[in-house]
Chain A
């Protein structure tokens, strides 16, 4: 059981987390945040293993991981 939280206001929509996730659980959303970027979102929280690779590769420290 693991969970990630994406701080949307921090996310710059670079998409690096989408290629770091080994299960391809992260995608960029259609929404626009206050910075004008489309933040990342998780598609299936249940499948997340909490490996924290998305958080490791995030240049903006926008992802918090719980396991």
Chain B
């Protein structure tokens, strides 16, 4: 009998701090598997953001730079330009990338920096206590929108994958989810593709991964997982929005 499933080499054998049912752990593993696939672990520099993704350095067996809130894409630009031979990816949440770091991500994407961005969208600020994020769905109750997000006051949720796909510098932009085995297998494929683009020097690649946040949504893990597959994917459609190979 052979072991058919094991921990990727790029992922440390430690317990994570993530809540039960949080998809961060799964997305971490998919990223680590992609690093293993291309054998870039030794030359990878990850850029962590602020939020639940902040402990990236504790979980990945790679070099990690910790960026100020929202600035991961700008820090990654510097890392990649100073060390062009390195493999650089950022791992950011929606409060980090879509709110405070909007300027950084849009300009890094527009410049077509040769980096990969993993954007974990859980429609809320996870670590700071479940405040409303730009990606919070209309009607969703959070600690700063106790009556639900009001579209006329707060605007509609930002679809980052589609937004960035319009920029000329972007080589690849896709939205994935890991709530079911089918979506997870597809996510694995897309993350590997995004990483391959950097290995081949094709330019900026962006992956938006939908994630559950049971704690801040006030749900149990299975309900939260179900919400990703229904309410979230209804608004945040899964798919590839730009792929330079198909242009």
Compute how far the CA of A17 lies from the CA of B99 in the bound complex, rounded to whole angstroms: 33
A20 to chain B, nearest CB (A): 5
Minimum Cβ distance to chain A for residue B245 (Å) = 26
Report chain B residues within 8 Å CB of A2.
Answer: 1
B contact residues around A57 at 8 Å (CB): 26, 178, 180-181, 184
Q: 0/1 per residue, B180-201, Cβ < 8 Å to A? A: 1100110000000000000000
A16 near B225 with CB under 8 A, answer yes
Is A37 a contact of B20 with CB atoms below 8 Å?
Answer: yes
Are A60 and B25 within 8 A (Cβ)? yes
Give the bracket for the number of chain A residues in contact with chain B.
Answer: 20 to 34
A19, A37, A65: the one within 8 Å of B5 (CB): A65
**Which residues of B have CB within 8 Å of A1?**
1
Interface residues of B in 222-238 (CB under 8 A from A): 222, 225
Which of B19, B22, B181 contacts A56, CB < 8 Å?
A: B181
Whether the pair A12, B5 counts as a contact (CB closer than 8 A) is: no
| Majority secondary structure of chain A interface residues (helix, strand, loop or mixed) | loop
* Given A20-B181, A59-B25, also A65-B16 (CB < 8 A): no
Q: How far is the CA of A56 from the CA of B187 in the complex (A)?
A: 12
Chain A 50-67 interface mask (CB, 8 Å, partner B; 1/0): 101101111111011111
Minimal Cβ-Cβ distance residue in A for B15 = A10
The answer to whether B1 and A67 have CB atoms under 8 Å apart is yes
Partner of A66, one of B4, B18, B22, B25: B4
Residues in B whose Cβ lies below 8 Å from that of A65: 3-5
CB within 8 Å for A67 and B4 given contacts A14-B221, A16-B221, A53-B181: yes
Contact B21 A14 (CB under 8 A): yes
Smallest CB-CB A-B distances: 3 pairs: A59-B25, A12-B20, A14-B21
Q: A20-B180, A59-B24 are in contact. List 16 more A-B contacts (CB 8 A).
A: A10-B15, A12-B21, A14-B20, A15-B222, A52-B5, A55-B5, A56-B5, A56-B181, A56-B184, A57-B184, A59-B22, A59-B26, A61-B29, A64-B5, A65-B3, A66-B3
